[in-house]
Amino acid sequence: DSGVTQTPKHLITATGQRVTLRCSPRSGDLSVYWYQQSLDQGLQFLIQYYNGEERAKGNILERFSAQQFPDLHSELNLSSLELGDSALYFCASSVDPGGGTDTQYFGPGTRLTVL
């Protein structure tokens, strides 16, 4: 158990819908990262937050957005869902992303199925 929690574990929804994925980082970690794992794209970085502020953006679609709240939990919002958005979404957290020895610890993931 890494200490990173994600809910829900599974999500099944229809095309065009909107869903919210939730992540709670390890105690003491200030930075949260979102990654998407799909069969065709592999593991791709989506977005990073640090202490409530967006810090870096990766291959995140405009239909997707995220935020980090004052209690440091983060939510990833996916809207106008398409079949191709079906994937495993992982959250990771780390304590000091600017530090030279920072390590990301991953949560169990949310499996999203879009029908």
Partner 1 sequence: AQSVSQHNHHVILSEAASLELGCNYSYGGTVNLFWYVQYPGQHLQLLLKYFSGDPLVKGIKGFEAEFIKSKFSFNLRKPSVQWSDTAEYFCAVRLDFGNEKLTFGTGTRLTIIP
Residues that bind partner 1 (CB under 8 A): 2, 31, 33, 35, 42-45, 48, 55-56, 58, 90, 92, 94, 97-98, 100-109
CB of 12 to partner 1, least distance (A): 17
Closest CA relative to residue 54, chosen from 75, 37, 38 = 75
- The distance of closest approach from Cβ of residue 42 to partner 1 in the complex, given in angstroms and rounded to an integer, is 5
Rounded to the nearest whole angstrom, what is the least distance from the CB of residue 52 to partner 1 in the complex?
A: 16
Q: Which residues contact 99 (CB under 8 A, 6 or more apart)?
A: none
